C-alpha cells in the first residue's frame, strides 16, 4: 500500500478528550473516529487491526472444533421475556420499537437467541457436543462510555455457546475454551491471565475472566508472580482429549490470580512475599458454565441415551474483540507511539523512502514492495514527498514492528536499513536480505 494513496488521517496534536494512551494513539494514528459517545467508525488502519484480531479468534475457535455462524444485531424482545432477562437487564439494553409496534432490542449478548436456534433444531444427545459462536456487534448503553474502544457502547465481541448432554461434558467445553483463549491472546502478543470471577449458579470454580495487566485497567487484581512465567508456546492441543485440556487449565489456575471481586486476603498472604503482586487489569474475555439457566425456562431439552428428556447443559464464552485493540496498545507502546506485536500489526513492515523522486531510491523501494508482496507480506510504503523526520514520526506513531529505510547513501554500497520498532536497533543489509529476514520473522506468526 502506498501511503500517498492511503487514507491515514494522523493528528499532530494530542486530542483533549483522550484520557489514556491507547485512546490517544488510536485517534492520533487515524484508526478510529468517534461518531457519538462510545460509538466509533473504524478507519482503514484501525479496521485492518480489527480484522487481524478477528482472524486469530476465528482460527483458534475453529481449531478447538467450535463452529462459526452469524446472528443478527437486532433481536425480538419476546425471546428475552422467556428467559426473564427483558425486565432484569435494565437501562443498559437499547430498546427499539418497529413500525408494527413490536418490541425489539439491540443485542447486548446472545444466550436467548442461540438457545432458540438450538431448541428448534436439536432434539437428541446424538447431536452433541455442539459449540456455536459468532463475532458480532453488541450494544450496551454503558452509563459512562470511556477510554475509546475499551468501554464503548457499540462494540465487537466474539461470543460462543456450548451445548452438552451432562455436566462433565460441559466442563470439558469450559476447559476447551480456556485453552483456546490462552493460545488466542498469546498469538496477539498478550499475556491475559485467567482469574477466578464471582461464582456461577452451581457454585465453585466455573467462571474465569482473562485480564491483561495494565496500570489503566479498570479492575484491581491480585496474583502470584509465578503465573506470569507460564507460556503456552507452540504446543499442539488435542481438543477432544479431556485430560490434556484439564491439565492445561490446572497449570494456569493453580497459581493465585483473582480480581477484587473474589480476592481472598488469607490465601494471598500465604504466597511467598516476593511473589505477591497487586496491579490493575483490563478484562479481555470471560468464560462461564451456567448449566440449565437458559435451557430450562426456554425449553431446550434433548433426549439422553436412556430415552429421557433433559435440559441441555450450557456455557457462554466471550472475547472483547474491539476492546483488545486498546488493551494491546496499553500493553505495548512507548512515548513515540504504538508498538504492534507481529501477530496483529496492520502491515508487517513499513518502507521509508528518504529521497522521493530519486530514480535509484524509488526503484529500490518499488523492488522491495514487489518482493515483499510476492511473499504475502504487503508493506506500507511511505512514498510521500515529506522530510525524513516526518516519515519516521508517522511510522513510529502507527507502530509497524519493522521498518526498512532506503536512501541514496546506503544504496551506494547496495544496502538498506532494517529497524526494529520495539528495540530501535538498526542493521544494514542488502534489500534481498531484508526481505528474507522479514519473511523469516513472519513465518512463525
Ligand atoms: P465489563 O465488566 O468490562 O463491563 P462484562 O463482564 O460486562 O464487561 P462480558 O459480558 O463478560 O462483559 O463480555 C465479554 C467481553 O466483552 C468482556 O470480557 C470485554 O472484553 C468485552 N466488553 C464488555 N463490555 C464492553 C464494552 N462496553 N466495550 C468494549 N468491550 C466490552
Ligand atoms: Mg465479563
pLDDT in tens, 372-401: 999 999 999 999 999 999 999 999 999 999
pLDDT for 213 beyond 90: yes
Q: Which CATH architecture has domain 7-338?
A: 2-Layer Sandwich (3.30)
Domain range summary for the chain, segments of one domain joined by +: 7-338, 350-443
Closest-CA residue, ligand 1 atom 23, reads: 320
Residues with CB under 6 A from ligand 1: 109, 140, 142, 151-152, 155, 157, 283-286, 318, 320, 322-323
Give the CA count within 13 Å in the CB-facing half-sphere of 273. 0
Ligand in closest contact with the CA of 323:
1
202 band by pLDDT with thresholds 50, 70 and 90: very low
pLDDT for 367 beyond 50: yes
Task: Give distance in angstroms: CA of 222 to centre of ligand 1.
Answer: 20
198 band by pLDDT with thresholds 50, 70 and 90: confident
Residue 340: closest CA among 424, 421, 437: 421
CA-based max dimension of the chain: 81
What mean pLDDT is predicted for residues 424-442?
98
Alpha carbon distances (Å) from 316 to 134, 174, 293: 12, 9, 11
pTM of the model: 0.97
User: How far apart are the C-alpha atoms of 110 and 309, rounded to whole Å?
Assistant: 24
205 band by pLDDT with thresholds 50, 70 and 90: low
User: How far apart are the C-alpha atoms of 326 and 26, rounded to whole Å?
Assistant: 8
User: How far apart are the C-alpha atoms of 413 and 177, rounded to whole Å?
Assistant: 53
444 band by pLDDT with thresholds 50, 70 and 90: confident
Ligand in closest contact with the CA of 211:
1
User: How far apart are the C-alpha atoms of 254 and 320, rounded to whole Å?
Assistant: 25
pLDDT for 199 beyond 70: no
- Helix axis angle, 359-374 to 431-443, nearest 10°: 30
Ligand in closest contact with the CA of 110:
1
Find cell 523469516 and name the residue: 440
Task: Give distance in angstroms: CA of 209 to centre of ligand 2.
Answer: 6
Ligand 1 binding pocket mutation candidate from 145, 283, 328 (most atoms within 8 A of CB): 283
The whole-number pLDDT of residue 391 equals 98
Closest-CA residue, ligand 1 atom 26, reads: 151
Strand 313-320 relative to strand 154-164: parallel, antiparallel, unpaired? antiparallel
pLDDT for 204 beyond 80: no
Task: Give distance in angstroms: CA of 188 to centre of ligand 2.
Answer: 20
What atom in ligand 1 is closest to the CA of residue 157? 16
pLDDT for 200 beyond 90: no
What digits encode the pLDDT tens for the residues 81-91?
999 999 999 99
The cell numbers describing 2, all together, are 502506498
> Is CATH 1.20.1250.20 the right assignment for the domain spanning 350-443?
no
The cell numbers describing 114, all together, are 442461540
Find cell 439494553 and name the residue: 93
Closest-CA residue, ligand 1 atom 27, reads: 151
- Three-class SS of the chain: CEHHHCCCCCCCCCCCCCCCHHHHHHHHCCCEEEEECCEEEECHHHHHHHHHHHHHHHHHHHHCCCEECCCCCEEEHHHHHHHCHHHHCHHHCEEEECCCCCEEEECCCCHHHHHHHHHHHCCEHHHCCEEEEEEEEEECCCCCCECHHHECCEEEEEEEEEEECCHHHHHHHHHHHHHHHHHHHHHCCCCEEEEECCCCCCCCCCEEEEEEECCCCCEEEEEEHHHHHCCCCCCCCCCCCHHHHHHHHHHHHCCCEEECCCCCHHHHHCCCHHHEEEEEEEEEEEEEEEECCCHHHHCCEEECCCCCEEECEEEEEEEEHHHHHHHHHHHCEECCEECCCCCCCCCCCEEEECCCCCHHHHHHHHHHHHHHHHCCCCCEEECCCCCHHHHHHHHHHHCCCEEEEECHHHHCCCCEEEEECCCCCEEEECHHHHHHHHHHHHHCC
Sequence-ordered list of residues with C-beta below 8 angstroms from that of 238, at least 6 positions apart, any chain: 244
The whole-number pLDDT of residue 201 equals 47
User: How far apart are the C-alpha atoms of 161 and 359, rounded to whole Å?
Assistant: 57
Closest-CA residue, ligand 1 atom 3, reads: 283
139 band by pLDDT with thresholds 50, 70 and 90: very high
110 band by pLDDT with thresholds 50, 70 and 90: very high
* pLDDT, the chain, mean: 96
Amino acid at each position: 500500500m502506498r501511503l500517498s494513496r492511503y487514507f491515514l488521517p494522523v493528528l499532530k496534536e494530542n486530542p483533549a478528550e483522550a484520557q489514556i494512551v491507547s485512546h490517544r494513539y488510536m485517534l492520533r494514528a487515524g484508526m478510529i473516529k468517534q461518531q457519538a459517545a462510545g460509538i466509533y467508525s473504524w478507519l482503514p488502519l484501525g479496521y485492518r487491526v480489527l480484522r487481524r484480531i478477528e482472524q486469530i479468534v476465528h482460527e483458534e475457535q475453529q481449531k478447538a472444533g467450535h463452529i462459526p455462524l452469524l446472528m443478527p444485531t437486532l433481536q425480538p424482545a419476546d425471546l428475552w421475556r422467556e428467559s426473564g432477562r427483558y425486565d432484569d437487564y435494565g437501562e443498559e439494553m437499547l430498546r427499539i420499537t418497529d413500525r408494527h409496534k413490536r418490541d425489539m432490542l439491540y443485542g447486548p449478548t446472545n444466550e436467548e437467541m442461540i438457545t432458540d436456534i438450538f431448541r428448534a433444531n436439536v432434539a437428541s444427545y446424538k447431536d452433541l457436543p455442539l459449540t456455536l459462536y459468532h463475532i458480532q456487534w453488541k450494544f450496551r448503553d454503558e452509563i459512562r462510555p470511556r477510554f475509546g474502544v475499551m468501554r464503548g457502547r457499540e462494540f465487537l465481541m466474539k461470543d460462543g455457546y456450548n451445548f452438552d448432554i451432562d455436566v462433565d461434558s460441559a466442563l470439558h467445553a469450559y476447559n476447551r475454551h480456556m485453552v483456546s483463549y490462552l493460545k488466542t491472546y498469546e498469538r496477539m502478543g498478550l499475556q491475559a491471565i485467567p482469574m477466578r470471577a464471582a461464582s456461577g449458579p452451581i457454585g465453585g470454580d466455573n467462571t474465569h475472566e482473562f485480564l491483561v495487566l495494565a496500570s489503566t485497567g479498570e479492575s484491581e487484581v491480585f496474583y502470584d508472580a509465578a503465573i506470569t512465567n507460564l507460556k503456552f508456546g507452540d504446543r499442539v492441543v488435542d481438543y477432544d482429549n479431556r485430560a490434556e485440556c484439564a491439565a492445561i487449565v490446572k497449570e494456569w489456575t493453580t497459581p493465585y490470580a483473582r480480581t477484587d471481586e473474589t480476592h481472598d486476603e488469607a490465601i494471598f498472604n500465604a504466597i511467598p512475599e516476593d511473589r505477591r503482586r497487586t496491579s490493575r487489569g483490563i478484562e479481555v474475555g470471560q468464560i462461564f458454565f451456567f448449566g440449565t439457566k437458559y435451557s430450562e425456562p426456554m425449553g431446550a431439552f434433548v433426549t439422553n441415551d436412556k430415552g429421557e428428556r433433559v435440559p441441555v447443559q450450557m456455557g457462554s464464552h466471550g472475547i472483547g474483540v474491539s476492546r483488545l485493540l486498546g488493551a494491546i496498545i496499553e500493553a505495548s507502546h512507548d512515548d513515540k507511539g504504538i508498538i504492534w506485536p507481529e501477530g496483529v500489526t496492520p502491515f508487517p513492515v513499513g518502507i521509508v523512502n528518504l529521497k522521493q523522486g530519486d530514480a535509484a531510491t524509488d526503484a529500490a523501494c518499488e523492488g522491495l514492495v514487489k518482493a515483499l508482496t510476492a511473499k504475502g507480506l504487503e508493506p506500507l510504503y511511505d512514498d510521500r514527498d515529506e522530510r525524513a523526520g516526518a516519515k519516521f514520526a508517522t511510522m513510529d506513531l502507527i507502530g509497524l514492528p519493522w521498518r526498512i529505510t532506503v536512501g541514496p547513501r546506503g544504496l551506494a554500497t547496495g544496502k538498506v536499513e532494517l529497524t526494529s520498532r520495539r528495540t530501535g536497533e538498526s542493521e544494514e543489509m542488502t534489500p534481498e536480505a531484508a526481505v528474507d529476514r522479514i519473511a523469516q520473522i513472519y513465518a512463525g506468526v
